Amino acid sequence: MGCEDVKRVIYFFLDGQLGDRKQRDIKQHLNLCPECEARTNMHKRLREFVRRRLSSVSASERFKQRLTRSLRAFRAEWSS
């Protein structure tokens, strides 16, 4: 696994959405590549910061429904 591979899937890795083998391969690469490890740690810190800042923000149910509909429409448009 190379640096470009890690860059392409880093968010899936951080979310734990990759298969066991890919997760292991990325962890192994991060242990060997200080640049990718630093980039990954920066992404982790950024995600944690955003989570903390947004944890106290709550959206109305109406807004959530509108957003969900918009995202589904966007996904349908781009998948066809």
* pLDDT classification of 76: cutoffs 50, 70, 90: confident
CB 18 within 8 Å of CB 9: yes
Residue 42 has pLDDT above 90, yes or no: yes
Q: What is the pLDDT of residue 80?
A: 59
Question: What Å distances lie between residue 8 and 53, 61, 77, CA to CA?
Answer: 26, 34, 23
The Cα 66–Cα 27 span in angstroms is 38
Share of the chain above pLDDT 90, in %: 70
How does 67-78 read in b/e, with b if 16+ C-beta sit within 10 Å?
Answer: eeeeeeeeeeee
Which residues make Cβ contacts (< 8 Å) with residue 44, sequence separation at least 6?
14
